[in-house]
Amino acid sequence: MHSFAAPALALIERMNLAAQGNPARAVAFQGAPGANSHRAAMEWAPECLPLPCFSFEDALDAVKQGRAGSAIIPIENSQHGRVADIHFLLPESGLSIVAEHFMPIHHALMGVAREDGTTGPFEAAYSHPQALGQSRHFLRERGIVPLSHADTAGAAAFVAERGDPAIGAIAPALAADLYDLRIAEDRVEDAADNTTRFVVLAPEPLDPASLAGERAMTTFVFEVKNIPAALYKALGGFATNGVNMTKLESYQREASFSASMFYADIIGAPGAPAVDRAMEELAFHCKELRLLGSYRLARERG
């Protein structure tokens, strides 16, 4: 908690106390109050008690330790791709994905007002690397140097603490209200349809039977056997059984680079005959297969 800038600490203390009083209602998120993940938690569960955490690992640990009933984590952005390290963290967390949530992302450039009440020009702007990447054309056109910070709202709190009008933050407009900053420009993201997909993690998975009759998504990771055409054969079952795979990404888990792990999303859930057949064929060709959860589809793919 004490890694946050001072302007955020009082807010965090109040939110921590509220969560301690009713952990089941607490939703952990990465970032300072006012971060996009804070907004996502309140959109997904308006009656929740948002619990700020400094890192993604801290947010997941809050659930594992019983300090929060769930965590909401950004997993990919329409403009900037997957969120770094998430594919490593989710499988190792021991938690299960129980929901997904899509949220339009809007960023504002904000800073400390000068003595005459104006803001800018800015020499540099702090923000989370994802937000900097989503606003890179805006920043480049204005000659503003992007500087990485742990999260967007935390960057706003840090700028407020420094009090330097030449340094700005890229953060949600809510952060300007929370940390008494002045918005210089709103909607600075490079794409108007900028959207982030979040997943909600809980200690126990949803029973796939509870999703019967509903459009569902299943997420899993796997490693195929180290033999020729193993991936081709492993994925063939999804095609022959008519199961739509909406995402397939590879990542290296070990420094040897000898084999890749794959992260995948499919439409459907175990219990559906087509999904069961496809997963059985996948398992035959895999050294490792781990389900991360089945959950309701929040947005149609395709």
What digits encode the pLDDT tens for the residues 144-156? 999 999 889 999 9
The whole-number average pLDDT for the span 251-273 is: 84
In tens, the pLDDT along 107-141 reads 999 999 998 889 989 999 999 998 999 999 999 99
φ, ψ (nearest 5 deg) of residue 145: -80, 125
On the 0-12 / 13-18 / 19+ scale of CB atoms within 10 A, 167 is buried
On the 0-12 / 13-18 / 19+ scale of CB atoms within 10 A, 32 is buried
- What does the mean pLDDT of the chain come to? 93
Amino acid at 283: A
Q: Would you kindly state where each structural domain of the chain is located, as residue ranges?
A: 6-104+195-202, 108-185, 208-295
What pLDDT does residue 84 have? 65
Q: Please tell us whether the domain made up of 6-104+195-202 is placed in CATH 1.10.10.10.
A: no
Q: Which of 39, 33, 51, 40 is nearest to 154 (CA)?
A: 33
Q: Which of 46, 40, 77 is nearest to 153 (CA)?
A: 40
What pLDDT does residue 169 have? 98
In tens, the pLDDT along 66-102 reads 999 999 999 998 887 788 677 788 888 999 999 999 9
Q: Please tell us whether the domain made up of 208-295 is placed in CATH 3.30.70.260.
A: yes
What pLDDT does residue 251 have? 84
Domain 6-104+195-202 and domain 208-295 have a common topology: no
The whole-number average pLDDT for the span 229-247 is: 95
pLDDT band at 298 (very low <50, low <70, confident <90, very high): very high
Residue 1 clears pLDDT 50, i.e. is over it: no
pTM higher than 0.85, yes or no? yes
The whole-number average pLDDT for the span 13-39 is: 96
What pLDDT does residue 254 have? 66
- pLDDT above 90 as % of the chain: 82
What pLDDT does residue 170 have? 98
In tens, the pLDDT along 200-225 reads 999 999 999 999 989 999 999 999 99
- Exposure of 251 in the CB half-sphere (CA atoms within 13 A): 16
What pLDDT does residue 227 have? 87
Higher pLDDT, 302 or 29: 29
Catalytic residues, by residue number, are 196, 198
CATH number of the domain at 108-185, please? 3.40.190.10
Residue 2 clears pLDDT 60, i.e. is over it: no
What pLDDT does residue 78 have? 87
On the 0-12 / 13-18 / 19+ scale of CB atoms within 10 A, 46 is exposed
